[in-house]
Amino acid sequence: MSKKFLVVCWLLLFSVGIFAETPANFKRTEDVIYGRKFGTALTLDVFKPAKPNGYGIVFMVSGGWFSAHEAIKAQTYEAFLDRGYTVFAVVHGSQPKFQIPEVIEDVQRAVRFIRHNAKKYGVDPDKLGVSGGSAGGHLSLILATKGGPGPKDAKDPIDRESSAVQCVACFFPPTDFLNYGDPGTNAVGVGILKDFQPAFGPEAKTEEGRQKLGREISPIYFVHTNQAPILILHGDADKLVPIQQAETFLAASEKVGGKTKLVVKKGGGHGWADWTKDFALFTDWFDEQLRGIKPKE
């Protein structure tokens, strides 16, 4: 059984949950088109709680840089909805047809779309959070470190908006493909991530290409003082995305004065049975960083 198959299964488990979708007091709007590529619509689902708090969470529906509308289930976002957050579940173009750089463009477009339409959805355009796990965590960190204003002369006004987010809470994200698990270990479609080679594209077939691409898509090389506050939850027994990825990202962020917090799940692998409980931790983080509400002791 390949690692790719396992991670796709994890995406479905992570997004669907162990139990059936639970009833909740919210309105769901499906298949909102946030962009198009090669004649294909890029979509997101909007979950609006009965008592919205005026803040939005952008959720990366991604595992192994594979994304599917079928993986969107309200139960995943229950903790966010219960606190009044409007959730935007983003589906991006999937590998093998689309590679990571193209996926990054998709999620940046999604944030720009949400910001441009913030008034319509009743959220603050300057207070957007983002979340996801594994590849979804990687994309969350890309938005936190590389997000920024679009071209002022873009024909589409949506593309002129910023793709920056103001807060991140994510699970076990890859952060440095050029030093993966150990210094100097390249995982750009090779090594531990060899089964994900299609996600990295043809550039990953040469050492020169891997070095160039690895730097371009690794969030660790774009940390900066003013990046969004980041919370990472990572298991210390993760074999697919070593906890070293979170530890080195934390160190790099602290070095430049960025606000990053790492919570270690003892014995946790690449996902765990009671993961739904950890969304409460994420929601506390969003409350504190976006709304200025400190969690109860």
Confidence label for 24 from pLDDT (cuts 50, 70 and 90): low
C-beta separation of 110 from 139 below 8 A: no
d(CA 231, CA 171): 9
Q: What is the Rg, in whole angstroms, of the alpha carbon atoms belonging to the chain?
A: 18
> How confident is the model at residue 277, as a pLDDT?
83
pLDDT at 59: 98
pLDDT at 199: 96
CA geometry: angle 94, 180, 89, nearest 5 deg: 30
Contact 11, 64 (CB under 8 A): yes
DSSP state, residue 83: T
For residues 51, 54, 55, 58, the Cα torsion angle rounded to the nearest 10 degrees is: 70
Does residue 17 have a pLDDT over 50? no
* Model confidence band, residue 276 (pLDDT cutoffs 50, 70, 90): confident
Distance separating alpha carbons of residues 192 and 86, to the nearest angstrom: 36
Instruction: Say if CB 80 and CB 87 are below 8 A apart.
Output: yes
Mean pLDDT of the 20-40 span: 83
Report the pLDDT value the prediction gives residue 176, as an integer from 0 to 100: 98
3-state DSSP call for residue 140? Answer: helix
If one counts every other C-beta atom within 10 angstroms of the C-beta of residue 168, the result is 29
Over residues 196-206, mean pLDDT: 94
Q: Write down all domains in the chain, each with its CATH number in brackets.
A: 3-291 (3.40.50.1820)
pLDDT for the residue numbered 297: 64
Q: What is the pLDDT of residues 48-66, one digit of tens each?
A: 999 999 999 999 999 999 9
What token pair was written down for 164? Answer: 């920056």
Give the SS3 label for residue 239: coil
Q: What is the three-class DSSP state of 7?
A: helix
What distance in Å separates the CA atoms of residue 214 and residue 221, rounded to the nearest whole number?
Answer: 10
Residue 12's pLDDT band (cuts 50, 70, 90): very low
Residue 19 predicted with pLDDT over 50: no
Handedness of CA 170, 108, 7, 48 (dihedral sign): positive
Dist. CA 256–CA 296, nearest whole Å = 30
pLDDT on residue 289? 97
Output the pLDDT for position 98.
94
Instruction: Give me the percent of the chain exceeding a pLDDT of 70.
Output: 92
Residue 279 Cα distances to 82, 230, 264, angstroms: 11, 14, 14
Instruction: Indicate if the pLDDT at residue 6 is higher than 80.
Output: no
Kindly tell me the sign of the dihedral angle through the C-alpha atoms of 244, 247, 253, 259: positive
Nearest Cα to Cα of residue 131 among 100, 163, 89: 89
Answer whether 275's CB lies under 8 Å from 14's CB: yes
Predicted TM-score of the model (pTM): 0.92
- Average pLDDT over the chain reads 91
Mean pLDDT computed over 120-145: 97
CB distance 113 to 125 below 8 Å = no
Look at residue 23 in the predicted model and tell me its pLDDT: 44
pLDDT value of position 20:
41
User: What was the pLDDT predicted at 39?
Assistant: 85
* The pLDDT value given to residue 18: 38
